[in-house]
Chain A
Amino acid sequence: MSRKSFGRRRFLKGMGGAVLGLPALDAFQPRARAAATPPKIYSALMMQQNGSIQGHGNDPQLYWPTNLGPISAADMAGVDAGQTTSELKDYASKLIFLRKQDFKFSSNHDGGPVACATGAPVSGPSPRQLPNAPSADFFIASKMTPGLEPLTLYAGKKGTYRDDAFSFSTGGMLRVGDNNPWNVYQRLSGLEGMAQADPALLQKIATRRLSVNDLVRADLNDLLARKELSQADRNRLDQHLTSVREMEINMTTTLGPMIDTAAMQAVDGMQTTDANMIAVVQMQLDLIAFAFATDRARTATLQVGGCNDHTMYTINGKQQPPYHFISHRIMTDGGSGAPIADAINLHHEIDKIHARYFKHLLDRLSAINLPTGGTLLDSSVNLWVNSIADGPPHSGKDVPHTLAGSAGGFLKTGLHVSSPGFANRVLNTIITACGVRKADGSPIDNFGDPSAAQGLISEIVA
């Protein structure tokens, strides 16, 4: 049985709001230690909305390096300094830029987000199209860490046109991301605050919770034993049972990246304001790194903004119109409105903001050294993707995909590649890089697409 890494919640208010380094806590042993396994490969997927300025239609190409082939850090700092991806120049040798990736089954604000991590056919009316299969993060977790679910996060407002649409579990059930870093942290953190407390008391707390857990599980099993359940009801109860079944005490923690709990508490309750958006995204990325470092998750997703993200970023000292308006170049969601002056450059600046988000993640991952050698970044493959390819056309063709991390050497990095085809290949590559294989040991080449095996992107496989 895999070790459950999500401890119970501890309210850490009253801790003084200090930047909290996690103490080692050995009051308990886990109920079962993980058996020896192949090297762990981690994967974080970050999704931007509203497209990018990458030269489609009449847009200038402000996104990618000028040249295909090996990524040149010198060029990123020099001739390509203004390009979006050049924000990542510090990681030039660890990046993979992928061009000409098309969504096969769905696109636009509703279907595009779903396509990013599933590559699967969708059904249901807009704007609530759902895939018929899980997303890559859930699939990887189900194969590599059974019982340890992905960390599913969100940044920004909810109650929009469409909110969560990135991560999906069995059968394409929507997984909802928490958009409050303080809540996420409290859920992730173990009993650090009680590290100095009486171990006997900790044992009682753990036993109480296990006792309650056993009863709740029995109640669920009673319901699942009924013959009259529909498949949909069974799936929902199964999901509930899975979350209950795998709860166990995680009383051991390891030193992880510093989490600024004071900052998280400061935005608690205001985590969806435009002014706090950048800070919240960074906090969520910090939490992903924390979860990886402390083995509380092996895969994670962060959806930045609702599916037609209306964040009003401050650029050049001035709060700008909603991001979605900018992507449409006019002062509404596309119905009518005055043109937005300099919309393309504003969109480009927002692209760069998202590039800096991704860099923040890479900074965190590269700062964590693994006991087995190398950094967390080296033992991961991380994706930055957009839910649509461009502004007004809202196309699902040539959607920008950026990878970072070699997945323990599985991938060749430092490459700018044009590899026309369906984006399912990116997901096949990521999933295989994370260690998932078919029953016969061959790579996963058919994720999401039931009609044809799309294969991997061979140009980047080592």
Chain B
Amino acid sequence: MPSAFVSQFRTATDQKGPVDWPWRRLAVAGLSACLALTATACSGVIGDAKTGSGGSGTGPATKPGDIPLATSGPITSLPADSTRFPRLTHQQWENTVRDLLRLPAVPGLSSMFVAEPLQSVFDNNGGVLTVDQDLREDYQAAAENLANKVARTPSLLATLAPSLPTDPAGKASAFIKTFGARAFRRPMTDAEVARYQALFDKGATLFGSGDAFADGVELVMSAFLQSPNFLYRVESSDNVVNGRVRLSDHEVAARLSYGLLNSMPDDALRAAADAGKLSTAEGVAAEAKRIMALPVVQQTLADFQIQLMHMRDFDSIARDPTQAPLLGQGVGADLRQEALSLMTDVVFAQGRGVTELLTAPYTFANSRVAQLYGQAAPKLAAGQADPFVKINLDPTQRAGLLTQMGFITNYAVGDTPNLILRGVHIVRDVLCLPLPPPPNNVPPLPAVTADTTNRKRVEELTKDSPCNTCHTAIINPLGFAFENLNGLGQWRTKESGGLPVDASGSYSLDGMPFTFDGPVSLIKTIAATTAAHNCFVEHMIEYLYGRDITDADADHNLVAQAGLRSKNETSIKDLIVELVSTDAFITRLP
């Protein structure tokens, strides 16, 4: 895509409004067939997309002063613009409070917080989150609630402060420094300690419970939980070397833990930060590998996949029970679990990468899902467990995530595929090709009839200008490839009226044209492209780094290198460790 065209959809991360993001919500909003801009825009040139597609990540830097792109070994990278104050999301707040106060579970108090709209690609972009009056009061109420609970429950207080001096002044000071360092995710400054000490000393007077220590704890804990140093992941390092700021070990620890765990650094990570072990890429990689081995990381990856594949929409998948009894109410949870099981198996059990995710000729199914694939399901007694187990699929019909039941039936109406939305998802979320917003006055598709195919009616509606600019070359062919899978997820070679399905087409990625016939043919080609791997790592970066990808060369280079490694079969686990060990992750711009 021409850079001038791309640039209108990208802004620097540091400006209000995020950069380009998946088209999914735009599609759901009902843009029917015609998606092209009326005037500028859709050039129809594929493979010249945002970040490095068409290139292999080799060769010299693109302009003087750039760093060379490494094709093997550690990724060479530079940081891009990012906020110094990413705010904790509500989920991160819950996890952090649980871990900070060493509670057995999340307290659930964020259900009282103002529900926030999605403002970015993923919901963990703290740079677009703010604190207004309502939320500030929500934080206050929650802080007071938790401080009261912890300070007045001896067992809870004891876990936070297991060994303190016995003299009141020393005890208070030690508590403030110890708890404060964990709450702020860094050691407190002397001025901060004095400030919180002064507040602590007011506790006995303001509470008057007779337990001066608990009074002081309740007061300062309430303050700690409302402090911006708790609510934001503050990055205050400012020592500029070669145009970059090296983050402190504690700031790196925070980025690492919120990227991989959606919570504050655990004790081991904090100890590594305290010992200065996160000042090198090797030290960061070692901690990243440790964290990636923790079972809880699977929840983080599941969250990533759910958002990327729009799997919350699966809850709306329900068909007429007389038409598709297996796709009744509640099937969405099973289809989501199917997709998550494949991801978990590929990433953690097999230690493999993106290509396997896209091309796996197997899936994971419970009894209902197995029947959807036409396989026998075991008879289960009431109350008997119904686990998701691996089943092999017809490799000529199924390949990976994009032919799973959830993806296929989500983009469909009844038994009719919504090939436009399927195509748009692949364009935007699998290939990261930008699409312009739709124009007004989009006419609806004509009704399905027996004398025409689904493909033909879409072709007919989108063949004229300005629709054809985007549809004919970019969107429609990708949707056509999936026409063998009807709206119920079943394989077909003929439509309901008896006309044969035509799932063939041609496309161009990485500057190379190719033809395909059916979904597996298309998917295998896509899985071998730089575009697809670059797109996946772009999303990984957005999620792990908690910010949108920018249009800066720094991000272009980062994506190109990581994408090359993904294309060369680097496992997703290893890719994640590499991405959080880069200079782009552990340094920042001034």
Report the bound CA distance from A10 to B137 in whole Å.
11
Q: Which of B202-210, B339-347, B353-361 contacts A (4 or more CB under 8 A)?
A: B202-210
- Indicate if the CB atoms of B85 and A9 lie closer than 8 Å: no
Return B361 CB to nearest CB of chain A, in Å: 30
- A107 vs B138: C-alpha distance when bound (angstroms): 34
Task: Answer whether A176 and B116 are a contact pair too, CB < 8 Å, given A130-B17, A211-B206, A335-B421.
Answer: yes
Q: Residues of A contacting B447 with CB < 8 Å?
A: 338-339
Q: Are A393 and B440 in contact (CB under 8 A)?
A: yes
Q: Using an 8 Å CB-CB cutoff, how does the interface string of A241-273 with B read, 1 for contact, 0 for none? A: 011101100000000000000000000010000
Asked if B133 contacts A395 (CB within 8 A), the reply is no
A232 at the interface (CB under 8 A from B): yes
Contacts known (A9-B141, A223-B228, A328-B30); A243 close to B131, Cβ less than 8 A: yes
- On whether the beta carbons of A334 and B30 are closer than 8 Å, the reply is yes
* Interface positions of B from 1 to 44, Cβ below 8 Å from A: 8-11, 14-21, 25-33
Of B9, B206, B207, B228, which is within 8 A of A125 by CB?
B9
Query: B119: shortest Cβ distance to chain A, in Å?
Result: 6
Q: What's the nearest-Cβ distance from chain B to residue A197, in Å?
A: 15
- Shortest CB-to-CB span from A29 to chain B, Å, is 19
Select which of B14, B119, B132, B207 is within 8 A of A149 by beta carbon.
Answer: B132
Q: How far is the CA of A233 from the CA of B126 in the complex (A)?
A: 11
Q: How many B residues touch A, CB cutoff 8 Å?
A: 82
Q: Are B441 and A216 in contact (CB under 8 A)?
A: no
Docked-complex contact B236 and A333, CB < 8 angstroms: no
CA distance A158 to B111 in the complex (A): 13
Interchain CB contact under 8 A, A207 and B206: yes
Interface status of B114 (Cβ within 8 A of chain A)? yes
Please, how many angstroms separate the alpha-carbon atoms of A229 and B135 in the complex?
A: 23
Q: Which of B18, B33, B206, B443 contacts A128 (CB 8 A)?
A: B18
One digit per residue, 1 when the CB lies within 8 angstroms of any chain A CB and 0 when it does not, for chain B 432-456 equals 0000011011111101100000000
Q: Do A240 and B130 touch across chains, with their CB atoms under 8 A apart?
A: yes
Question: Once the chains are docked, how many angstroms separate the CA of A130 from the CA of B18?
Answer: 10
Given contacts A127-B25, A149-B132, A204-B206, contact A336 B32 (CB under 8 A): yes
Q: Does B227 contact A (CB under 8 A)?
A: yes
Q: Is A163 touching B117 in the complex (CB atoms < 8 A)? A: yes
Known: A172-B16, A228-B84, A232-B83. A335 touches B33 (CB 8 A): yes
Residues from 557 to 590 in B contacting A, C-beta threshold 8 Å:
590
Instruction: Determine how close the nearest CB of chain A comes to the CB of B497; give it in whole angstroms.
Output: 16
Interface bracket on A: 35 or more
Contacts of B26 in A (CB 8 A): 110, 126-127, 161
| Chain B residues whose CB sits within 8 angstroms of the CB of A171 once the complex forms | 16
- Residues of chain A contacted by B590 (CB below 8 angstroms): 228
* Residues of the B chain whose Cβ atoms lie less than 8 Å from the Cβ of A177: 114
Of A183, A308, A334, which is in contact with the most chain B CB atoms at under 10 Å from its CB? A334
In the complex, what residues of B have CB within 8 A of residue A104's CB? Answer: none
Whether A345 is near chain B, meaning CB under 8 Å from some CB there, is: no
A226 CB within 8 Å of chain B: yes
- Contacts of A175 on B, CB cut-off 8 Å? 132
Instruction: Establish whether residues B234 and A223, one from each chain, have CB atoms under 8 Å apart when the complex forms.
Output: yes
CA separation between A331 and B414, bound complex, in Å?
A: 10
Q: A240 to B135, alpha carbons, bound, how many Å? A: 9
Interface of chain A residues 160 through 205 with chain B (CB within 8 A): 160-164, 169, 171-180, 183, 186-187, 204
Selected from B14, B137, B238, B442, the residue in CB contact (under 8 A) with A6 is B137
* B 386-423 contacts with A by CB, 8 A: 413, 416, 418, 420-421
Contact partners of B87 in chain A: CB under 8 A: 236
Residue B219 interfacial (CB < 8 Å): yes
CB-based contact B83/A233 at 8 Å: yes
Q: Which A residues are in CB contact (< 8 Å) with B15? A: 232
| Chain A min CB distance to B551 (Å) | 12
Q: How far is the CA of A164 from the CA of B134 in the complex (A)?
A: 15
- Chain B residue contacts of A160, Cβ below 8 A: 25, 28
B246 nearest CB across to chain A (Å):
14
> Which residues in A have some Cβ–Cβ distance to B below 8 Å?
6, 8-9, 107-110, 123-130, 149, 152, 154, 158-164, 169, 171-180, 183, 186-187, 204, 207-209, 211-212, 215-216, 218-220, 223, 226, 228-230, 232-233, 235-237, 239-240, 242-244, 246-247, 269, 307-308, 324, 328-339, 392-396
**Which 4 A-B pairs give the minimum distances between C-beta atoms?**
A333-B30, A334-B30, A163-B117, A124-B17
Q: A125-B17, A208-B206, A392-B441 are in contact. List 13 more A-B contacts (CB 8 A).
A: A108-B440, A124-B18, A125-B8, A127-B26, A127-B29, A128-B21, A130-B16, A149-B133, A159-B118, A178-B134, A183-B138, A212-B199, A335-B418
**B residues with CB within 8 A of A:** 8-11, 14-21, 25-33, 81, 83-85, 87, 111-112, 114-120, 127, 130-138, 140-141, 192, 195-196, 199, 202, 206-208, 219, 222-223, 226-229, 234, 236, 238, 312, 413, 416, 418, 420-421, 437-438, 440-445, 447-448, 590
28 A–B pairs (Cβ distance < 8 Å), ordered by A: A109-B30, A125-B9, A125-B20, A159-B312, A162-B25, A176-B132, A176-B134, A177-B114, A179-B115, A186-B112, A204-B206, A208-B219, A212-B222, A212-B226, A216-B227, A219-B228, A230-B83, A237-B85, A239-B130, A240-B132, A243-B133, A308-B29, A308-B30, A328-B30, A334-B30, A335-B445, A395-B440, A395-B441
